[in-house]
Amino acid sequence: MPPYTITYFAVRGRCGATRIMMADQGQKWKENAVTFDEWMKGDLKATCVFGQLPKFEDGDLVLFQSNAVLRHLGRKHGAYGSNDKEAALIDMMNDGVEDIRLKYLKMIYQDYDTGKDQYIKDLPGHLSKFDAVLANNKSGFLVGDKISFADYSLFEVLLNHQVLSPSCLDSFPALKRFAAMMAARPNIKAFLDSDDYKKLPINGNGKQ
């Protein structure tokens, strides 16, 4: 029995980074895919702490909130820095990733047709901040000298943005290097090449 279970819609969505992180850490997990009809019945929703998915189970620990899941995996698998100071900086970077993720999701779900072009125009202003942080850390990771859950989250956001705007990293050499380094990690490469990954759309409304 794999130790972890994800219950979520059949999309990458809020589980993209979690799955990439588990794959990279050599973990196995079970997927419980929830259909729209099943979700609309409301029984599952009523059991979710915030009325939303994903739900993540680690044995008898049941977690909601995708970033809490990343942090939990970070603690368990040594991907939360080497000390309190690094952990604080990793939290900061992950909150920065969450800010951009929320802007992206708002555009995708609420404003795709009229907001996409402006979103892409504004993107360099957001990406440049991450580029500067990465350019300042010679390990190639966001914080310290080892990978953290924030790196997985940033990487996954970058993958989605490269689908939205294929050239978006071109003027950001450190970000480009980071994305290439993450994609070349053997377990990540194998996962991104797998049907399990490729069969899932990025978002739940078919926009990307």
Q: Which amino acid is at 36?
A: F
Between residue 28 and residue 47, which ones bind ligand 6SG under the rule CB under 6 A? 36, 39, 45
Nearer to ligand 6SG, 44 or 135 (CB): 44
Helices (H), ranges, 111-172: 112-135, 149-164
Residue 33 has what DSSP assignment?
E
Residue nearest to ligand 6SG (CB): 204
From the list 11-19, 112-120, 140-148, 149-157, the region that binds ligand 6SG by CB under 6 A is 11-19
From the list 7-15, 165-173, 174-182, 188-196, the region that binds ligand 6SG by CB under 6 A is 7-15
Please answer whether residues 35 and 60 qualify as being in contact, where contact means their C-beta atoms are separated by less than 8 angstroms: no
Among 13, 16, 74, 96, binds ligand 6SG (CB under 6 A): 13
Alpha-carbon distances, residue 134 vs 92, 140, 146, 194 (angstroms): 14, 6, 13, 28
Nearer to ligand 6SG, 10 or 181 (CB): 10
Please answer whether residues 55 and 63 qualify as being in contact, where contact means their C-beta atoms are separated by less than 8 angstroms: yes
Between residue 61 and residue 100, which ones bind ligand 6SG under the rule CB under 6 A? 65-67
Nearest to 28 by CA among 10, 11, 4, 8: 4
Contacting residues toward ligand 6SG, per CB under 6 A: 9, 11, 13-14, 36, 39, 45, 52-54, 65-67, 204
